[in-house]
Amino acid sequence: MESKRQQKFAGVIQKDLAEIFQREGMNFLPNTLVTITKVRITPDLAIARVFLSFFNNANTTLALNTIKAHASEIRYKLGARIKNQARIVPQLEFFLDDTNSYVERMDQIFDKISKEPRQPDTEE
């Protein structure tokens, strides 16, 4: 369970990272929309686990590895934004948020179930 402090700091990190990716994301991944879906902060505020979602990109693993390769540059830009709000700039760990693929898979399963013929209810 995250404390209020962690949640508030995670919100600041998420907002600022979203602005960084919106303004300068094309430098890392051209023609790809990067969305920060969730940020989790450790209790000591030293590590931020950032969950990303990619749109208009077929190879999400390659996109995630590209972001990880630029992690120090992204952290530097984040530090410039939050320098007056935090004592330390957290280390950034990036993860793929697979919620969208999970939702799509569940939709396919439900569609398949709804297309199967219904068996008549038998009451005795």
What's the CA gap between 74 and 67, in Å, rounded?
Answer: 9
DSSP string, 61-107: HHHHHHHHHTHHHHHHHHHHHHTTT-SSPPEEEEEE--HHHHHHHHH
Domain edges within the chain: 4-98
Domain 4-98 in CATH: superfamily?
A: K homology (KH) domain (3.30.300.20)
Q: Is the pTM of this model over 0.85?
A: no
Question: What is the full per-residue pLDDT of the chain (124 aa) written as tens digits?
Answer: 789 999 999 999 999 999 999 998 888 888 888 889 999 999 999 999 999 988 888 888 899 999 999 999 999 999 999 988 888 899 999 999 877 777 778 888 888 888 877 776 666 5
Place of tokens 């990303």: 52
